[in-house]
Amino acid sequence: MPDGVLRVGLTGGIATGKSYVTRRLAEAGLPTIDADRLAREAVAPGTDGLRAVVARFGREVLTDGGALDRARLGAIVFADAAARADLEGIIHPEVRRRIDAWQRQLARQGYRGPAIADIPLLFETGRTADFDVVVVVACDPARQRERLMARDGLSAEAADVRLAAQWPIAEKVKAADEVVITDGTFDDTDAQVDALVARLHARASGESRAST
């Protein structure tokens, strides 16, 4: 981290509580950026991204108002790995470009410390080498499945299809530098996040001194 920004990639499985952890990190004063939000912006009406999606998948993935019908597109890509790879090829380069630009802007503004990029598919897209620290948010797989079904109103079969599209959470935990477990209460998770923030600041401070 020669520019003083500790690049932290935060990931996990779908419905493991990643958004909650990211919000708590932001409340602790750490800069955060959300790859999901960037992905939505990359295919907003009028963008080159949306035009590319329509060229690949057809106008049937649009709503009557011309926006992307995420449910319809999701049904296609979660059932077809090749289609999912095509969609990722449209969206991910723009998301990566914007995260890189955000990190550089923090450095130009003189920020020194941890910066959190919330990237659901960090492992799946092979981006771990772009970060100094990888944090995985995890919970028991059975609980993850239950949360996903409840959150998105999915059947067990539909939930399993979405879970199968990502690395198993156990594999992500093995490859992580830091892990936050969300099986317990919110207080339990908050305590882990507070400890994580302290470790990230300590690491950022130590590496900054080492680079001078």
Counting as low any pLDDT under 50, the low residues of the chain are: 212
Q: What is the pLDDT of residue 55?
A: 97
How is the chain split into domains, by residue range?
5-211
Which of 1.20.1280.50, 3.20.20.210, 3.40.50.300, 3.30.1490.20 is the CATH number of 5-211? 3.40.50.300
Give the Cα separation of 182 and 139 in Å (integer). Answer: 5
First to last CA, the chain: 11
Q: What is the pLDDT of residue 2?
A: 63
pTM of the predicted structure, to 2 decimals: 0.90
